[in-house]
Amino acid sequence: MELDRVIVSEDEIKARVAELGAQITRDYAGKELFVVCILKGASIFMADLVRQIKIPVQIDFMSLSSYGKSTQTSGVVRMLRDLDQEIAGKDVLVVEDIIDTGLTLSYLKENLLARKPASLRFCTFLDKPSRRKVAFQPDYSGMAIEDYFVVGYGLDYQEKYRELPFIGVVKSVD
């Protein structure tokens, strides 16, 4: 696999994460935020983001899958790891790496709302609105991108390339 080009540089990522952190800090001023990181892809973004949020933060993790080892979603969402903590009455922010079809986060939204959080919002670093199969709009979005298969900054292809400090477009994968 080769990279075709870089579409988001390391400096652009840092600047946008700082902006998102500042906006989230303003929106949740005076509150404590419960951040749910969607593993594995969002872990790098979440770590950078919470360092930019200037209010108390608790962190927990979930793992969901609709891709397996493919570059195309199967449409079937599986929960691989659930939260360790209860979210009832908490202000919850779900942090995701990328929103594609919207199926995974629509499923997750219904699941988490049933747990009665005080509030529930979603933050993604990348958004591919052209790929939506269900209506889903994140509350916070780093940036919208075209329908490319991308890696880097937590995003992978078969568990590789997460460590890249930028986001790049893959030339050809399947």
- Which residue has tokens 């990348």? 126
Structure tokens at 115: 């747990």
Q: Are 34 and 43 in contact (CB under 8 A)?
A: no
Amino acid at 96: E
Structure tokens at 25: 């800090």
Which residues are catalytic, by number? 100
Structure tokens at 12: 């652009």
User: Under the phi-then-psi rule, with left for phi > 0, alpha for psi from -120 to 50, and beta for the rest, what region is 28?
Assistant: alpha
